[in-house]
Structure 1
Amino acid sequence: MTTALPATPRPRNLKASFGVLGAAFIWGSMVPLTSLAVTTLDPYYLSAIRYSLAVPALGAIAWIAAGRFPLRRHLPWRRIVPLGTIGMGLFVLCFTLGLKYSDPITVAAMFSGAPIVSAVMMRVLEGERLAPRLPFAILLAVGGGLLVAVGKPESLASQGFRGGEILVLTAMLVWAWYSVKSQVWLAVHGLTQPEISFLTILAAAVFLWLAFLVGWATGFAHAPTHAVSPLEWLNIVWLGLACTGSAVLLWNYGVSRLGVTVAALQLNLEPVFAVLIGMALGAAAGWLQLVGGVVVLAGVVWVQMAPKKA
């Protein structure tokens, strides 16, 4: 029997929306920075080190926020371990390897379909029907996200199918599963969102180091063979503390109050933030990307303006 999700406030929860927008802003930098990092670092090593950096920071936040040490007796480890290993560990491995064997434009375009994946996952796992305004908002979010991803003329010529796209799709599926089940399985045990984030990332970090050690012993994973430069370490620290730590915490907070589908819809502003970050760094933006950003934003506003009644 499936445990029901706790009652979800209506989508007009601005504090939760700002949390998801914060995650979208941080994750807007993740695709290009990860794509850059895997050119010099092994994907297994990169995944393990970035999740390890997030563990102590999230542990301290969870301890302060809940007023209790997050590692204690009688935790639901039978739920935490699969959520961490499959929902997070497998996600980051598939995402990182997918970027290595694909290209950032293709990955960004695929992730624009996240609201559809989340809506299907909620329907399959929890039997949740879409609210009246969500289908049109999802259409705007997905369409706008695609425009942002492929809106630059030279970006239309991607590198072709190299297998990484299957890994990216797998990453999207397991992340949607994690987003649903982390609330169903763990929030009902009285765990706070910082505790959920810390415990699942801790399980993911252990899994990722085991995966790296097995890969290193069998020859398909490698430790760095060069001295990691300060710029590379800065990239790794950002991917660990911000993209893995802070963004996951903000995401879990938003999902707990908005639901996975609405949160995924608002997360489609991620490619918009990626374009804005690129423009701030001197990159040119195509007019289709700007139009796509407006379309995604229209979908988010459409949901936020839903009537107050259920």
Structure 2
Amino acid sequence: MLLWSMSFGISAEVLQTASPAMLSVGRFMIGLLVLVPLAARRPGFTRTLRRPRTIILGLLGAALYYSLTNVGLVFTSAGTAALSNAALPAFTALLGLLVLRERLAVRTIVGLGRATVGVIIVAGSGLSVDIGVILCLVGLACYALYTVLLRKDSITASASPPSWGRGATAGRHTSWRVEPLVLATATAIWGTAIMLPWLGFEAVTGTSSLPSGWVGLGGLPFLGVVITAPTLVLFNYGAERLPAAITGVLTAAIPALGYLFALLLGEQPDTFTALGGAIALVGVVIASFAPPGSMLPPPDDLVGGGTHRGR
């Protein structure tokens, strides 16, 4: 979330000279230069890349979310785009309830309530609704669904009984066990591929432009290597192991951390906004301590292992 909150301001600076498609595709292609050499060595990379589920995740969590957010940044400010993330915890918790039928613990409900109050205060101090905000909200809904689908497949994987046979049956079982690095990389590949026609459209219509200046030329590689690549892997790892509602509450830290990042860049402090951010962070801390039984099985059950469960 800390890395994620930094992306809005940097993306807005890159968009001063680069076109939205160039930014969206460029940051992923640079990130893939880091991820692919690492993921290609891991088991199941090619199989994961071929799965329809991976294409859907790439569409929701990469192509739609980042494209809509970057286009939204053309019409609204970076601060407003960051504040619009106030809706993400509610989106994720609601979809988790509808799709996964997750039962929320009291601690999670309290944390979600505090986080929601905090982000409403933050949003109320600076959020204005325009076409940019609407695009960002649609992108956030796509990312919330992406989060829930990550969790859904992980629950299915942990519930699948181990197969002791060989051949096709064993292959079907092991296909569930995908490392976060492998899944994040395969998702990013499909997301980038889906966005390529958009970049081609910009090129044909003459609206495509490369970043220029030290901010643009330095910001795009920074987004790809420091933010996009690690955030994809870390978020996948966490979202597969946490209830969707808790993952959603954790995203409430984005407006608060985004505001803190803006302060570090020289923005004048606002007491009202700082108070809302502090309340949101308290909610995040409360919900982060998940009660017993709300987590998935240990990582070796979730990723690749699981053989000890039948012994």
TM-score tier, shorter chain, comes to: 0.7 to 0.9
1:50-94 deviation per Cα after TM superposition (whole angstroms, max 9, x unaligned):
111111212233346x4x4x6435754211112212331011111
- What are the within-5 Å matches in structure 2 for residues 28-67 of structure 1? 28-63=5-40, 66=42
Counterpart in the other structure of 1:257: 241
| The one of 182, 187, 193 aligned to 2:150 | 182
Q: Pick closer, same or farther for the CA change 1:110–1:278 going to 2, 3 Å.
A: closer
- Quick one: which amino acid aligns to residue 281 of structure 2? L
| The one of 203, 210, 229 aligned to 2:213 | 229
C-alpha distance in structure 2 between counterparts of 1:103 and 1:144, whole Å: 20
Are residues 1:102 and 2:85 paired?
no
- What are the within-5 Å matches in structure 2 for residues 104-253 of structure 1? 104-149=78-123, 151=125, 155=126, 158=128, 161=130, 163-185=131-153, 188=157, 189-217=176-204, 219=205, 221-224=207-210, 228-253=212-237
Worse-matched range after superposition: 288-297 or 204-213: 288-297
On the 8 A contact 1:91/1:175 being kept in 2, the answer is yes
1:192-236 deviation per Cα after TM superposition (whole angstroms, max 9, x unaligned):
01111000001111111222113422x274133xx7223212111
Counterpart in the other structure of 2:304: none
1:239-273 deviation per Cα after TM superposition (whole angstroms, max 9, x unaligned):
11222111121111111111222122112112222
On the 8 A contact 1:62/1:195 being kept in 2, the answer is yes
On the 8 A contact 2:68/2:136 being kept in 1, the answer is yes
Worse-matched range after superposition: 120-129 or 24-33: 120-129
Counterpart in the other structure of 2:54: 80
Are residues 1:274 and 2:258 paired?
yes
On the 8 A contact 1:59/1:198 being kept in 2, the answer is yes
- Quick one: which amino acid aligns to residue 223 of structure 1? S
The root-mean-square deviation of aligned C-alpha atoms, in Å, is: 2.4
On the 8 A contact 2:71/2:132 being kept in 1, the answer is yes
Counterpart in the other structure of 2:67: 93
Structure 2: unaligned runs, 5 residues or longer: 158-175, 295-311
On the 8 A contact 2:121/2:273 being kept in 1, the answer is yes
Q: Structure 1 residue 49: deviation in Å?
A: 0.5
Q: Pick closer, same or farther for the CA change 1:293–1:216 going to 2, 3 Å.
A: same
C-alpha distance in structure 2 between counterparts of 1:177 and 1:295, whole Å: 26
Q: Pick closer, same or farther for the CA change 1:271–1:82 going to 2, 3 Å.
A: same
- SS of alignment partner, residue 109 of structure 2: helix
Counterpart in the other structure of 1:18: none
Counterpart in the other structure of 1:7: none
C-alpha distance in structure 2 between counterparts of 1:31 and 1:72, whole Å: 32
- SS of alignment partner, residue 106 of structure 2: coil
Q: Pick closer, same or farther for the CA change 1:203–1:276 going to 2, 3 Å.
A: same
On the 8 A contact 2:122/2:277 being kept in 1, the answer is yes
Q: Structure 1 residue 286: deviation in Å?
A: 1.1
Q: Structure 1 residue 149: deviation in Å?
A: 4.4
1:132-174 deviation per Cα after TM superposition (whole angstroms, max 9, x unaligned):
22233212112212333454xxx47x5x62x222211110111
C-alpha distance in structure 1 between counterparts of 2:290 and 2:67, whole Å: 37
Q: Structure 1 residue 25: deviation in Å?
A: 0.8
Structure (1 or 2) with the larger CA radius of gyration: 2
Q: Pick closer, same or farther for the CA change 1:307–1:246 going to 2, 3 Å.
A: closer
- SS of alignment partner, residue 32 of structure 2: helix
- Quick one: which amino acid aligns to residue 171 of structure 1? G
